[in-house]
Structure 1
Amino acid sequence: MHLSQNEDPNFSLSKFESMLKTNDILFFDSSEFETIIYHYLETGKIALAKKAVKLGLEQHPTSTHLLLFRVEIYIFENKLEEAEDILASIDHLEPSNEEIYIQKANVYSKRNRHHKAIEMLQIALELTDDAADVYSLLAMEYLFLEDYENAKGNLMACLDIDDEDYSALYNLIFCYENLDQEDQAIAYLGKYIDINPYCEVAWHQIGKLYNKKKEYKKALEAYDFAIISDEYFIGAYLEKGKVLEKLNRFQEAIENYQITLELDDPTAFAFLRIGKCYEKMGVEDLALHYFNKAVEDDPLLDKAWIEFTNFYIRKKQFRKALYYINKALQIDEENIKYWKKYTYINQKLAFLEEAERGLRKCLELGNYELETYITRADLLIILGEYNMALQTMFEACEFHPDYAEIEYRIAGLFFRINEGDKGYYHLKNAVKIDAEYSVIVSELFPDIFERDSVKHIIGKYLNK
């Protein structure tokens, strides 16, 4: 039996797409255009939505709803002035249309005028029959302002209307955490579960909060309830596995990770965690097997390459470690921790130029620790790059003024490049700060340390 136009909910859409293929111009009433445009916007087909808006306004130029769809598309395309022009033109047509104020709020939000956006949404809230959506939008604006208390209130109002809005629930817990109110979050979720006892999302969030508080037994209980509520809830098995790892219950953790592999497509994360468990259990062949499976599943998972790196560092197989740290750096070359490992490995292999490069990258990436500067300078001294070592120490002074470790090195370097006056000046500064550190000169510049003039200055302060 064929469905009529009124019986078939997809009739308008099929008719519109058929029209596009034939280039015929067919008539649609404004509500049909609204259905078509909404469908395309929901499915992310913006180009088709724009075509539908254009044709719709050609047939119904005064339709406020169609004009508002054009505003929505303009906002999406960041054409904010065009959106504002339309909003100004229709403002007086339907002053009780909450969508006008919602779109005004969207424009203000795009301009980072979040307080004005909130004003518009509060007007919309008085006009709307769908308060949950407006509360949700208000919460987002408060989140942009990092006003977590007000965001929290609006998210609660949203959940009071629709307790299955899990996006609001996640954001609410996010607010509690940013306010350091974990106990209050747990209390809220407890009341929520009284009404929704089989809500796996709520149990999962309770587990994460108890995990954060290091109350691992309660966390495990919460994850078990999440799994009882939904035996296919992969997130609960993963989080339960992580807690079991912390409790050194590695075999049980592996079992939970294995369940996730059976429930859905295997993930590199699960393979990686299984590998870590086997490594902690001392089963090295299985640890490497699962690390391999992790990188096979996701070659861009830098954490898996780092596990290989750490494994071979512990085994003192530094050439293999170097291979794997290079793999990790190819994926994330701005990770300071990786460059520190790279430096350590190259030092162990006596690849001093590469080790120095690693420290230089650490400094370029903003790691201004004293140890980084000093280690780099010492490597440059060994490599005979005295001027570069001096520059490194002067840069260190900007972040770590009046450190004897720096002044002794500057003194020795000036002596090394035959600028004795500057060397004596910095040597005197160094011994005034801490004469005991003069051992630095004897270790890095033994020939300079043997000079009578140098020994005299150091001895003068050591004997005080």
Structure 2
Amino acid sequence: MEFSQHDDDNNYSLTKFESMLKTNNVLFFDSSEFENIIQFYFENGRIALAKKAVKLGLEQHPSSIILKLFHVEIYILEDKLPQAEKLLDELYILEPSNEEIYIQKASILSKRDEHEKAIDTLKIALNLTDSDEDDADLFALIGMEYLFMDQFENAKTYFIKCLELDFEDYSALYNIIYCFEFLDLNEEAIDFLNRYLDENPYCEVAWHQLGKQYFTLKDYPKALAAFEFAIISDDTFVGAYLEKGKVLEKMKKYDEAIENYNVTLALDEPTSFALLRIGNCYEKLGSDDLAVQYYFKTVHEDPLLDKGWISITRFYNKKKDYHKALYYINKAINIDGDNVMYWKLYAQINHRLNFIEEAERGYKKTLDLGNYELETWLARADALIGLGEYEASAFNLIQAAEFYPETAEIEYRLAGIYYTLLENEKGHYHLKNGLLLDSEFHFILQELFPLIADHQMVVNIISNSKKASK
């Protein structure tokens, strides 16, 4: 469906329409004015106003097919699919060769997850179009239906057809590259982008995407060149400066990376990503004061960005200023109490400060939030052992063994716990398991249970195991 451009006449129509809504005075508009008003509201996401314009338009022009098709769109947006279908059936009787009817039918089928049928319907619409622009739009819609079905090869084919008809359809270009990436075809994506750039050498979007492909393949010099061409094509392209900064970081050119990140801050509103990267670069350069200054700017800009708080905490951790590290990770937890990384750092810092109860609480919370790394299970077990909570530690380790069966680090800890609890048979069982799995790890007993490790019974079992293995 074609719509006229929003020129001065259209602006006048919009002003007149909105004035009418405010005063409740009913004014007359011809059907094309309503069409342009409704299209403007759709394009700007002002659906409530579009709906009012459709209603008033149909009151003044009840036989307008285009206005009725807009009414169908409203029904579909509101999930009133039966009403949309009913109206489409009526319109089909009036104009069976109107491709927009098939496009809207396809939209309903897509909403019902009947994507194959939606594609068949869109292909019927393709046979009814009479312009490259309409064909391009339909190819894009078919490509999206294939994306919904995870048929990336077919989706790519149709987005390429779309781009061939409209080489400035950057949405299609992004979708093509998305398909290449999902199929792990980075080299093929590079070939495609190079061919596209042969025809469109000043397309900053294509250069940007080409750079990202080279970055994925760790070909940093070529990635850098591509991002520089993107900037030559559009020296206000913030995304290209950000990506160029990331490449320069990989090449250890931190001063140059900072320069590019600073350009983004000058071109646009500060982003937490750019501030964080600048902080990381200064830290790599050994400029600690500037590094931490930018980390604080990061969390000021976006308090919910976990990487900012983690960077501050790790910064003080590396400085062995554990009290400051704990202070800032506590602030982070107060903002987002369900962040696994926060609790993991909280537990580790408390452990370093010998605040064992708080450390154990942190490890437990980390596990409760779904972090089932072996390191976390073992650290919590050790904290519980330190608190004298041997049975709780054993239960924790038995749970860990469900995720990590036949793990020597678990077996030696269980052996030490059961010997401590005077359950010698269980102690023998787990010690022998540990020795079978990895005899080198028996030092765990010496570290965590020195009295048990020096007990003659345990020394004999370890000694006999070593003799048997020779």
* TM superposition score normalised by structure 2: 0.88
Structure 1 counterpart of 2:296: 292
Could you list the per-position Cα deviations for residues 17-57 of structure 1 after superposition, in whole angstroms to 9, with x for gaps in the alignment? 23322323344443333222222222222122222222333
**1:315 CA displacement:** 0.9
Do 2:211 and 2:224's aligned partners in 1 also have CA atoms closer than 8 Å? yes
**1:427 CA displacement:** 4.7
Could you list the per-position Cα deviations for residues 100-147 of structure 1 after superposition, in whole angstroms to 9, with x for gaps in the alignment? 222222222222222222222222222223111111111112222222
2:263 to 239, 259, 265: 259
**1:460 CA displacement:** 4.6
Between the aligned partners of 1:120 and 1:264, the Cα distance in structure 2 is 43
Could you list the per-position Cα deviations for residues 61-93 of structure 1 after superposition, in whole angstroms to 9, with x for gaps in the alignment? 443322322221222223333333333443333
2:180 to 172, 176, 180: 176
Structure 1 counterpart of 2:84: 83
CA gap 1:74/1:391 in 2 versus in 1, 3 angstroms: farther
- Secondary structure at the residue paired with 1:384? coil
Q: Does 1:380 align with 2:381?
A: no
What are the within-5 Å matches in structure 2 for residues 19-418 of structure 1? 19-128=20-129, 129=131, 130-417=134-421
CA gap 1:283/1:103 in 2 versus in 1, 3 angstroms: same
CA gap 1:230/1:433 in 2 versus in 1, 3 angstroms: closer
- Secondary structure at the residue paired with 2:201? coil
**1:432 CA displacement:** 5.0
Between the aligned partners of 1:173 and 1:352, the Cα distance in structure 2 is 50
- Secondary structure at the residue paired with 1:413? helix
**1:435 CA displacement:** 5.3
Do 1:302 and 1:327's aligned partners in 2 also have CA atoms closer than 8 Å? no
CA gap 1:457/1:296 in 2 versus in 1, 3 angstroms: closer
Do 2:10 and 2:36's aligned partners in 1 also have CA atoms closer than 8 Å? no
Between the aligned partners of 2:66 and 2:202, the Cα distance in structure 1 is 40
Q: Amino acid of the residue matched to residue 319 of structure 2? A: K
- Secondary structure at the residue paired with 2:32? helix
CA gap 1:428/1:239 in 2 versus in 1, 3 angstroms: closer
- Secondary structure at the residue paired with 2:9? coil
Do 1:227 and 1:236's aligned partners in 2 also have CA atoms closer than 8 Å? yes
CA gap 1:459/1:89 in 2 versus in 1, 3 angstroms: farther
Between the aligned partners of 1:452 and 1:249, the Cα distance in structure 2 is 59
Between the aligned partners of 2:8 and 2:236, the Cα distance in structure 1 is 37
Between the aligned partners of 1:93 and 1:391, the Cα distance in structure 2 is 73
Between the aligned partners of 1:427 and 1:296, the Cα distance in structure 2 is 52
Could you list the per-position Cα deviations for residues 341-360 of structure 1 after superposition, in whole angstroms to 9, with x for gaps in the alignment? 22221111112122222222
Could you list the per-position Cα deviations for residues 214-237 of structure 1 after superposition, in whole angstroms to 9, with x for gaps in the alignment? 222222222222222222222222
* TM superposition score normalised by structure 1: 0.89
Q: Amino acid of the residue matched to residue 286 of structure 1? A: L
Structure 2: runs of 5+ lacking an equivalent? 1-6
**1:456 CA displacement:** 5.5
More displaced 10-residue stretch of structure 1: 388-397 or 51-60: 51-60
Structure 2 counterpart of 1:3: none
Do 1:436 and 1:462's aligned partners in 2 also have CA atoms closer than 8 Å? no
Between the aligned partners of 1:37 and 1:175, the Cα distance in structure 2 is 34
Structure 1: runs of 5+ lacking an equivalent? 1-5
Structure 2 counterpart of 1:17: 18
More displaced 10-residue stretch of structure 1: 395-404 or 444-453: 444-453
What RMSD, in angstroms, separates the aligned Cα atoms of the two structures? 2.7
Between the aligned partners of 1:428 and 1:79, the Cα distance in structure 2 is 68
Between the aligned partners of 1:149 and 1:43, the Cα distance in structure 2 is 32
CA gap 1:282/1:449 in 2 versus in 1, 3 angstroms: closer
- Secondary structure at the residue paired with 2:218? coil
**1:148 CA displacement:** 1.6
Q: Amino acid of the residue matched to residue 351 of structure 2? A: Q
**1:371 CA displacement:** 2.3
CA gap 1:267/1:133 in 2 versus in 1, 3 angstroms: same
Q: Amino acid of the residue matched to residue 201 of structure 2? A: P
CA gap 1:67/1:450 in 2 versus in 1, 3 angstroms: same
CA gap 1:8/1:29 in 2 versus in 1, 3 angstroms: closer
CA gap 1:227/1:428 in 2 versus in 1, 3 angstroms: closer
Between the aligned partners of 1:417 and 1:423, the Cα distance in structure 2 is 9
More displaced 10-residue stretch of structure 1: 358-367 or 126-135: 358-367
**1:291 CA displacement:** 2.5
Do 2:303 and 2:335's aligned partners in 1 also have CA atoms closer than 8 Å? no
More displaced 10-residue stretch of structure 1: 118-127 or 403-412: 403-412
- List structure 1 runs of 4+ shifted beyond 6 angstroms: none
Between the aligned partners of 1:21 and 1:389, the Cα distance in structure 2 is 70
Between the aligned partners of 2:218 and 2:447, the Cα distance in structure 1 is 46
State the identity %.
60
Q: Amino acid of the residue matched to residue 241 of structure 2? A: Y
Between the aligned partners of 1:213 and 1:438, the Cα distance in structure 2 is 43
CA gap 1:311/1:434 in 2 versus in 1, 3 angstroms: closer
**1:316 CA displacement:** 0.8
Do 1:139 and 1:151's aligned partners in 2 also have CA atoms closer than 8 Å? yes
Do 1:303 and 1:328's aligned partners in 2 also have CA atoms closer than 8 Å? no
Do 2:304 and 2:336's aligned partners in 1 also have CA atoms closer than 8 Å? no
**1:213 CA displacement:** 1.8
